[in-house]
């Protein structure tokens, strides 16, 4: 059923929780993972605008770090008994959900598995929610995996839900 599972990774604890769940699911379905890392341009917006691209030294450092992250994640997948391929995208001008949707179509994926911080209320309003935007835009099902927070909540997998209309 889920033969092609797209897993965006960013190196956070939430991302790793999503990756571990994706491997578990892929072992059940015999699926393959595609690990996606998006190099976002947020810290370099001023410089990118001035030069039309990142300065080459920062760009190379970001590329090297992105490739290293993907290698670590792919090694974890293999260690856990899964199969994965990797892809790195330089994101200049679009939010994360754009690149996830692009990969869903181009690969094509059957499922997106995404680790989430589970922010809500004012924190979500201020920080934003990539997960929410990915769920809204995705053409395929999205499995959100909430990682344990500092208060010690246990990790839980929760599929994207649609609220029932109120009466």
According to DSSP H, which parts of 30-91 are helical? 45-51, 56-79
For 157, the token pair is 């997998």
Tell me the pTM. 0.79
Structural domains in the chain?
A: 4-159 (3.40.50.620)
- In tens, the pLDDT along 37-80 reads 998 764 544 455 455 555 677 788 889 999 999 999 999 999 99
Tens of pLDDT, residue by residue over 119-153, are: 655 554 444 578 888 988 899 999 999 876 634 44
Position 147 scores a pLDDT of: 79
Residues in the chain: 167
pLDDT the model gives residue 99:
94
């Amino acid at each position: 059923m889920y033969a092609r599972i797209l897993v965006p990774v960013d190196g956070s604890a939430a991302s790793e929780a999503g990756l571990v769940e994706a491997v578990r699911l892929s072992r059940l379905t015999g699926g393959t993972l595609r690990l996606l890392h998006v190099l976002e341009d947020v810290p370099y917006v001023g410089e990118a605008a001035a030069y039309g691209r990142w300065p080459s030294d920062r760009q190379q450092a970001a590329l090297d770090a992105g490739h290293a992250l993907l290698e670590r994640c792919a090694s974890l997948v293999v260690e856990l008994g899964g199969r994965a391929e990797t892809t790195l995208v330089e994101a200049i001008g679009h939010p994360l959900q754009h690149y996830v949707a692009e990969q869903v179509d181009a690969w094509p994926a059957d499922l997106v598995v995404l680790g989430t911080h589970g922010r809500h209320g004012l924190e979500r309003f201020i920080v934003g929610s990539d997960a929410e935007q990915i769920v809204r835009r995705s053409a395929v099902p999205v499995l959100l995996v909430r990682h344990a927070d500092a208060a010690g909540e246990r990790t839980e997998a929760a599929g994207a839900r649609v609220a029932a209309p109120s009466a």
